[in-house]
A = this chain, B = another copy of it.
Amino acid sequence: MELSSYISVDCVIFGYDGEKLNVLLVKRTLSEESNHLNFEPDWTLTGNHVYQDETIETAANRILFEITGLSDIFLEQFKTFADPQRLLKPKDQNWLKSIGRNPAIRVATIGFFALVATQKVALKWMGREVKWVPVKEVGTLGFDHNQILEEALIAIRQKMKHEPIGFELLPSKFTLTQLQNVYEQIFDAELDKRNFRRKVSRMKYVIPLNEKQKGVPHKPARLYMFSREVFDITNQELFDFIV
């Protein structure tokens, strides 16, 4: 059995709240009976072991559903972390023991990223403490999760340049300013409003609605929707989302 490993998935759940890009973290604590280890709770990405006979995609969706109550979230595998040294810190070893794992066995984890509009997620208590944290304010995480988060950011930036996934972070009806802000946040760059709008107007799958914002203390903006159908049809002309 010496060649075998545990397999887990870690989901980097990105959420956009209209202002900043956030990531969903869960508090890592030990069970009651392991408390003699005086384990200082800390925060980690959302992850879990893959069940017997379960695909990694199913496992990732399961985690997402358990934590956000949502299914059909945009989710994609981006990298696997399998360094035999990755969970050798005493804290991680203690944690592994506390959940009944053999801490000498490697844990290979497949990293997924997920995109969601934070308003869609009701963070109710599901047995674990959970919070949104702005990506730029994330401190030191448990396990090797800072590294996984970094790689996830690289992956979504790369992906976002060439595929229309910014919409996944917005409600189904959104304004162009909100869309622009998503790109500005993720690329950490400022975009020109007129140029951005001209570019979007060329994307036939961003569809203007006959509907406006309500209750805002300024000129209400027109709402738009994203049509994946139209995109799939017209995507021969693969737009660049490069900023």
Report A's interface with B, CB cutoff 8 A. 1-7, 49-56, 77, 79-80, 82-84, 105-106, 108, 110, 158, 161-162, 238, 240, 242
Contacts and interface: CB of A to CB of B under 8 A. Distances in A.
Given A2-B52, A3-B49, A52-B3, A110 B82 contact: yes
Given A108-B108, A240-B240, A84 B54 contact: yes
Nearest to A101: B3
Indicate how many identical chains form the complex. 2
B49 A7 contact: no
A26 B56 CA distance: 28
Nearest to A82: B56
A161 B106 CA distance: 35
A73 B120 CA distance: 45
Q: Chain B CB within 10 Å — which of A49, A79, A82, A84 has the most?
A: A82
Contacts of A77: 79-80
A172 to B, nearest CB: 28
Contacts of A56: 80, 82-83, 108
Contacts of A51: 3
B1 A110 contact: no
Contacts of A80: 56, 77, 80, 110
A55 B84 CA distance: 6
Contacts of A110: 80, 82
A84 to B, nearest CB: 5
Nearest to A80: B80
Contacts of A6: 3-5
